[in-house]
Structure 1
């Protein structure tokens, strides 16, 4: 009788470990960061947080409009430096963000930031450099979208 009890316990233990073993070894999916929209979130490149960045361009992809939310959670104003292109076609823009505020580009209240000479067709990514404050800055691929979706139609250059 004791051997049956021990065998039952051993079998039960194997079943429990066998059915839950995957959860012990795999990464919990809800802890993996991702961008839940069409744009991308730029990893911290200084005191400013750059969220949901994307570019809206027409079919030729010559010029585009930058859409983003730039958050300053500090008590000091900061400037976001953005660069794109290479060599003689390199361009840059600066966006000043007041303390404890958010600048949203491409909303009903604020126009998107025009980017001339991106030469990137919709469906591709444009490498852009983002830097603020004393941060090191980061080069990140920003998606270029077209105006096919109704809510991007008004954002075309």
Structure 2
């Protein structure tokens, strides 16, 4: 009786996680940025760096998962309305934006506080785009000092 009861209890309690989703299979951004996928383009670790809240530097990696080159349009609401910039991402390659030696997309004339989220839209070709709420950070952390735009 005791053995049967122990076996039933063990099966009953271990079965609770039988259909639970495995946490390591849940995609997430392991850093301060955010991301999405637009067709063949993976937008990874997007964040905005600012010192004064009026000039923002977009730091992001764009990864092309196809063999064809893609021209990605990045849009945001700037001082003169809807603004955009096109960025070429080589087939099976990646483009990193925002570093001191890399192409930079500077958003100017806005008022946003570090810690806020700022909408940035990513799209290419006929693919439906995706608007991300991108975290705004300042250069207080040493790893972001090089990304602070000059005002």
TM superposition score normalised by structure 1: 0.84
Kept in 1: contact 2:75–2:85 (CA 8 A):
yes
For 1:63, the equivalent position in structure 2 comes to 55
Of 110, 132, 140, 1:140 maps to: 132
Alignment of 1:81-96 (within 5 A): 81-85=73-77, 89-96=81-88
The worse-fitting range, judged by mean Cα deviation, of 138-147 and 79-88 is 79-88
For 1:39, the equivalent position in structure 2 comes to 33
Alignment of 1:1-157 (within 5 A): 7-42=1-36, 44-58=37-51, 60-85=52-77, 89-107=81-99, 109-157=101-149
Kept in 1: contact 2:79–2:109 (CA 8 A):
no
> Which has the larger helix fraction?
1
Q: How many residue pairs get matched?
A: 149
Superposition deviation, residue 128 in structure 1? 1.3
| In structure 2, distance between residues paired with 1:154 and 1:86 | 23
Larger radius of gyration: 1
Q: Which residues of structure 1 form unaligned runs of 5+?
A: 1-6
Kept in 1: contact 2:78–2:110 (CA 8 A):
no
TM superposition score normalised by structure 2: 0.87
Superposition CA RMSD, Å: 2.1
Superposition deviation, residue 124 in structure 1? 0.4
Kept in 2: contact 1:84–1:118 (CA 8 A):
no
| In structure 2, distance between residues paired with 1:155 and 1:87 | 21
Kept in 1: contact 2:100–2:146 (CA 8 A):
no
Q: Give deviations 1:75-108, integer Å, cap 9, x for gaps.
A: 2211111111279522211111122221111345
